[in-house]
Structure 1
Amino acid sequence: MVTPFHTLTCAANVGQLREIAEFVDECAERFGLDVKRTFGLQVAVEEAFVNICSYAYPEGNGEVIIAAGAEGDSLVLEISDNGTPFNVLKLPDPDTTLDITNRDIGGLGGYFIRRLTDNVCYRRENGQNILTLLLQRTS
């Protein structure tokens, strides 16, 4: 991770979504992302966070750390947790050609994360899930 300019630590609980949205807005504004790119980042981070809340901590008690930094002309967000290993990037893309009434419920989170960021990677390191999202200042 690049040196973070802003870090948020919070409980892995969907009740924290407002705080996370405010954090992402602050980071995007500080970095100079436009409204469209900021919205995409908001969706990607929310999907990643909800996955952590749903799958990383089946017992319900856990923590998430989001660190934001800049690398050249890119905003980098690193989302980490100590929960159950889960690589959202291994989920298959949904068949978006199907009519919405013929699709299974769920399964779009990983797809949105991949589509709304310029680069995303996952690693498991020292007992942590680490998801890194990269968004260039301009698309």
Structure 2
Amino acid sequence: MKNKNSEIRILANGVLDFGRENDLHQNVLDDIRLAFEEMFSNIVSYGFDDDREHEIVMDMELSADLLTMKIRDDGRPFNPTEYVNPDLEKPLDEREVGGLGIHLVRHVIDEWEYKSEQGKNILTMKKWIRKSVP
């Protein structure tokens, strides 16, 4: 996928197709779609210092009851797993802008890991899932 917000529609459709092919429960689909869309949006909005086109690679793999999602990009290094949650107790007008998407992702996935390798950011997110009940 390209580093353009317009690609989110393609991403959402890909997640839905993957979910249907693998009989994933709607709640799981909602969670992984949220995680992918939020992280993709952050990469597009904050990850690049130029106006060039960049490739963002997103993969999903289902093994037994574990769904593994990977996102790779060549943007500025950023480790979302170390990002400090926003203070949700503060009134809205006193909060810093940003960070809520990462906070939401943190709550819908079970594990995540970040590494920077050969100029690439690699974010791996894992979610224990259940299949749809017929």
**Under a length normalisation based on structure 1, what TM-score does the superposition of the two structures give?**
0.84
Question: What runs of 5+ residues in structure 1 fail to find an aligned partner?
Answer: 1-9
Q: Deviations over 1:12-32 (max 9, x none)?
A: 110101000011111222232
The equivalent position to 2:48 in structure 1, one of 53, 57, 81, is: 57
**Letter of the 2:31 counterpart:** G
Aligned 8 A contact 1:55 1:86 in 2? no
Larger CA Rg, structure 1 vs 2: 2
The equivalent position to 2:106 in structure 1, one of 114, 118, 126, is: 114
Q: Would you say 1:93 and 2:85 are equivalent positions?
A: yes
Q: Deviations over 1:81-111 (max 9, x none)?
A: 1111111111101122334444333211211
CA distance in 1, matches of 2:18, 2:112: 17
Specify the SS of the correspondent of 1:76.
strand
Specify the SS of the correspondent of 1:89.
helix
Q: Which residue of 2 aligns with 1:6?
A: none
Root-mean-square deviation (CA), in Å? Answer: 1.5
Normalized per residue, the structure richer in strand is: 1
CA distance in 2, matches of 1:110, 1:63: 21
CA shift, 1:66, in A, is 0.7
**Letter of the 1:29 counterpart:** R
Q: Which residue of 2 aligns with 1:20?
A: 11
> Share of identical aligned residues, percent?
29
The equivalent position to 1:134 in structure 2, one of 126, 129, 132, is: 126
Specify the SS of the correspondent of 1:11.
coil
Q: Which residue of 2 aligns with 1:81?
A: 73
Distance 1:102 1:33, change over 3 A: farther
**Under a length normalisation based on structure 2, what TM-score does the superposition of the two structures give?**
0.87
When the two structures are aligned, how many residues end up with a matched partner?
Answer: 129
